[in-house]
Amino acid sequence: MLPVVFPDSTSLWLFGLAALALLAIPGPAVLYIVVQSAGQGRRVGLASVAGVHLGTLVHVAAASAGLSALIVASALAFSVVKFAGAAYLVYLGVRKLLEREAETRVERESEPLRHAFARGAIVNVLNPKTALFFLALLPQFVSPDRGRVWSQALVLGFVFVGLGLVTDSLYALAAGAVGGLLHRRRKAVRYGSGIVFIALGATAAFAKRT
């Protein structure tokens, strides 16, 4: 078994601070989690958090193996991932807008958590900006002199995921509390959720390679 090489302690601390600063700024994944939690409850929101960060692990592994570099270098590969992610977000938004009130009520009460988990993973895996993010961030805290760059990158990626699970769970719990107060306004929550999903899809569609 290959030994794991860790970044030096200074790099770990600096990376942790940078990760917390970045995670504090709501992005597409956080907005997705907030919408899910406010519309369907905390349990669905937390399942979405778990799914989103499973998707994050995919990008961490890809960045460590150099696959993210391929996506950035290839206009075709970037476009395929970008538009696939955008189309999926728009699909979720349109589906929300077309739901009937009765369907929304049942969904809030009994939607399988595995569906929320799977959607969270898909949303983040199909977000090319996540690949770009890790490709740009991880090398700043990796030391080639220590050897096994891929191992150092994986360690940093796991640190980011751990911090992300904490901060995004707090967002989910807060949004779930607000969603409970808005339980009688399901229609407003449903339309608001649909609009957010479509807006996220449009944003992803116009993501640039540089």
Query: What residue ranges do the domains of the chain occupy?
Result: 29-205
For 91-114, what is the mean pLDDT?
Answer: 65
Q: pLDDT for 32-72, tens place per residue?
A: 888 888 878 889 999 999 999 999 999 888 888 875 566 65
Predicted pLDDT of residue 66: 75
- 105: pLDDT confidence band, cut at 50, 70 and 90? very low
Predicted pLDDT of residue 55: 92
Q: What is the pTM for the complete model shown? A: 0.72
For 13-24, what is the mean pLDDT?
Answer: 84
For 7-19, what is the mean pLDDT?
Answer: 85
Return d(Cα 40, Cα 48) in angstroms, integer: 11
Burial class (CB in 10 A: 0-12, 13-18, 19+), 31: middle
| Pair of tokens at residue 101 | 């009130």
Return d(Cα 15, Cα 157) in angstroms, integer: 10
